[in-house]
């Protein structure tokens, strides 16, 4: 099925409300489930965004904007004041990019241009809060959207994604040298995955091959010291469009999507025990959002509230 036919079908059926089936986690419940708080809504409703942290603030970048056109909108949330501000837009309007905060700056990679006919991008942009400006950096070797990225030891690992099909690409960016290199490929090709760095390793979690294709519960762990991948305990539920963040040495996964359902699940992974447990579910089930830790909370902005198109301006914060 083409992107155009799929998007049109989901828009028609999704807007009717017929697909909004919420799915919780099937993992064992944690004895300390944590708590959620609803905060100031984003000025613009978006999904398939990139989210990153710099200077203790939450940056929400790009995505599907009004009319589900790609956008370069950048909005920044300050947890200290519960307020949003605008920043200069990303130089290229994209949806499904990846973003990472590193050394006080924001790096945004890849994504798709176009609405129905989607074109994968190889762009890398850097935002410096001190100058309030973007600049283009070295392009990724592989153009792709719906990828995931995580920062570890001063470098950015860009994983998976899709161009014509799902990829197992692993490319590593060194901001100091403005240079990309090829890393050892992921065992599983997938897009709409999540990635996070914990305890000196990079975790690639979940994902899919296409909207109606294979969904993965895979947890694959990259160890830079040995340049090798290993397998962890899989997610309790396979899905794509999920978000992940690390806090206090543990990994947290939020939401996600299957063709006819959407997840409010929140699950915690403990690297020490290689086990998953269910935490308090999200107040608003979503996919295509981001998650980032600031202080003792994880902030989860934006995302789709129905399978397929269903953008929102929700901001909710989780405290384990």
Asked if pLDDT for residue 292 goes beyond 90, the answer is yes
In the chain, the number of structural domains is 1
Is 138 buried (19+), middle (13-18) or exposed (0-12) by CB count in 10 A?
Answer: middle
**Which residues touch 6 (CB under 8 Å, ≥6 apart)?**
211, 212, 308
pLDDT reported for residue 16? 38
CA nearest neighbour of 194 among 173, 179, 216: 216
| 265-279 tens-digit pLDDT | 999 999 999 999 999
pLDDT mean over 29-58: 96
pLDDT reported for residue 236? 95
| 170-214 tens-digit pLDDT | 999 999 999 999 999 999 999 999 999 999 999 999 999 998 999
Q: Which of 36-40, 86-90, 259-263 has the lowest mean pLDDT?
A: 259-263
For residue 56, give the CATH number of its domain.
2.120.10.80
Domain membership of residue 278 (yes or no) is yes
Q: What is the 3-state secondary structure (H, E, C) of the chain?
A: CCHHHHHHHHHHHHHCCCCCCEECCCCCECCCCCEEEECCCCCCCEECCEEEEECCEEEEECCECHHHCEECCEEEEECCCCEEEEECCCCCCEECCEEEEECCEEEEECCEECCCCCEECCCEEEEECCCCEEEEECCCCCCCECCEEEEECCEEEEECCECCCECCCEEEEECCCCEEEECCCCCCCCECCEEEEECCEEEEECCECCCCCCECCCEEEEECCCCEEEECCCCCCCCECCEEEEECCEEEEECCEECCEEECCEEEEECCCCEEEECCCCCCCCECCCCEEECCEEEEECCECCCCCCEECCEEEEEC
Domain membership of residue 301 (yes or no) is yes
Asked if pLDDT for residue 146 goes beyond 60, the answer is yes
pLDDT mean over 106-131: 95
pLDDT reported for residue 20? 54
pLDDT mean over 212-229: 96
Asked if pLDDT for residue 50 goes beyond 70, the answer is yes
Domain membership of residue 201 (yes or no) is yes
Residue 213: count of CB within 10 angstroms of its CB? 13
Domain membership of residue 58 (yes or no) is yes
Strands 275-278 and 266-270: antiparallel
Domain membership of residue 317 (yes or no) is no
pLDDT mean over 115-130: 93
Q: Which residues of 228-253 are buried (b: 16+ CB within 10 A; e: fewer)?
A: ebeebeebbbbbbbbbbbbbeebbbb
Domain membership of residue 316 (yes or no) is no
- pLDDT mean across residues, the chain: 93
- pTM summary value: 0.94
Asked if pLDDT for residue 5 goes beyond 50, the answer is no
Domain extent, residue 261, equals 3-311
Strands 261-263 and 22-23: parallel
User: Interior CA angle at 200 toward 199 and 205, to 5°?
Assistant: 75
Would you say 52 and 60 are in contact if contact means Cβ atoms under 8 Å apart?
A: no
Question: Nearest 10 degrees: CA dihedral of 29, 272, 258, 90?
Answer: 120
- 177 or 30, which is more confident? 177
Asked if pLDDT for residue 14 goes beyond 70, the answer is no
User: What is the C-alpha separation between 207 and 270, in angstroms, rounded?
Assistant: 20
Domain membership of residue 264 (yes or no) is yes
Domain membership of residue 320 (yes or no) is no
Strands 219-223 and 228-231: antiparallel
pLDDT reported for residue 31? 87
Is 78 buried (19+), middle (13-18) or exposed (0-12) by CB count in 10 A?
Answer: middle
């Amino acid at each position: 099925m083409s992107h155009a036919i799929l998007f049109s079908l989901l828009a028609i059926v999704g807007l009717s409300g017929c697909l909004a089936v919420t799915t919780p986690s099937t993992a064992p419940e944690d004895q300390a489930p944590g708590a959620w708080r609803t905060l100031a809504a984003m000025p613009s409703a978006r999904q398939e965004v990139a989210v990153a942290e710099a200077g203790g603030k939450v940056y929400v970048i790009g995505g599907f904007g009004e009319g589900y056109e790609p956008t370069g909108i950048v909005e920044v949330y300050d947890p200290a004041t519960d307020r949003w501000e605008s920043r200069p837009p990303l130089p290229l309007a994209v949806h499904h990019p990846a973003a990472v905060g590193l050394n006080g700056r924001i790096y945004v990679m890849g994504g798709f241009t176009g609405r129905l006919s989607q074109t994968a991008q190889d762009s890398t942009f850097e935002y410096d809060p001190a100058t309030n400006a973007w600049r283009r950096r070295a392009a990724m070797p592989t153009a792709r959207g719906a990828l995931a990225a995580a920062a570890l030891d001063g470098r950015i690992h860009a994983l998976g994604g899709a161009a014509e099909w799902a990829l197992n690409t692993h490319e590593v960016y060194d901001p100091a040298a403005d240079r990309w290199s090829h890393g050892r490929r992921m065992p599983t090709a997938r897009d709409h995955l999540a990635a996070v760095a914990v305890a000196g390793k990079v975790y690639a979690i979940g994902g899919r091959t296409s909207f109606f294709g294979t969904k993965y519960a895979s947890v694959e762990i990259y160890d830079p010291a040995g340049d090798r991948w290993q397998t962890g305990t899989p997610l309790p539920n396979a899905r794509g469009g999920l978000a992940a963040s690390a806090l206090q040495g543990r990994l947290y996964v939020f939401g996600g999507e299957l063709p006819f359902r959407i997840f409010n699940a929140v699950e915690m992974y403990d690297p020490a025990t290689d086990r998953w447990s269910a935490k308090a579910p999200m107040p608003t089930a979503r996919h295509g959002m981001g998650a980032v830790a600031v202080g003792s909370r994880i902030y989860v902005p934006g995302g789709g509230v129905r399978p397929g198109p269903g953008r929102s301006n929700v901001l909710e914060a989780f405290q384990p």
